[in-house]
Structure 1
Amino acid sequence: MEKNLLFEFTVNKPEKTVYISREFDAELPLVWDAFTTKELLDQWVAPKPWTARTKYMNFEVGGRRFYAMVSPEGMERWSIQEYTSITPKTNFKMYNTFADAEENKELPGSAWDYNFSEQNGTTTVSITIFNESLDRMEKMIEMGFEQGFKMTIDNLDNLLASLTKK
Structure 2
Amino acid sequence: MNTNPLFDFSVSKENKIIHIKREFDAGLELVWQAWTTAELLDQWCAPNPYRTETKTLDFREGGFWHYAIVSPEGKKHWSRYDYKKIEPQKSITELRAFSDENGRVSPDFPRTECNLIFSETDGKTRVTMTEKYGSPEIFEKMATVSHKKGFSSHLKNLNEFLQTLKKK
TM-score range relative to shorter protein: over 0.9
For 1:107-151, what per-residue CA distance to the aligned partner results, in whole angstroms no more than 9, with x for missing partners? Answer: 212001000110110111000000002221102234822111011
Q: Which residue of 1 aligns with 2:70?
A: 70
Does the Cα contact within 8 Å between 1:3 and 1:25 map onto a contact in 2? no
TM-score, normalised to structure 1, is: 0.95
The one-letter code of the counterpart of 1:163 is L
RMSD, matched Cα: 1.3
Does the Cα contact within 8 Å between 2:34 and 2:40 map onto a contact in 1? yes
- 2:111 is aligned, of 105, 109, 112, to 109
What are the equivalent positions in structure 2 for 1:1-166 lying under 5 Å apart?
1-2=1-2, 4-106=4-106, 107-142=109-144, 144-166=146-168
Distance 2:132 2:21 in 1: 15
SS in 2 for 1:164: helix
Which structure 1 residue ranges, 4+ long, deviate > 2 Å from structure 2? Answer: 1-4, 140-144
Does the Cα contact within 8 Å between 1:66 and 1:81 map onto a contact in 2? yes
The one-letter code of the counterpart of 2:151 is F
Return the offset for 1:3.
5.4
Distance 2:93 2:151 in 1: 18
- Give structure 1 stretches of 5+ with no counterpart: none
TM-score, normalised to structure 2, is: 0.94
More strand by share: 1
Return the offset for 1:83.
0.2
The one-letter code of the counterpart of 1:148 is G
Distance 1:150 1:142 in 2: 12
The one-letter code of the counterpart of 2:68 is A
Return the offset for 1:5.
1.8
Aligned length: 166
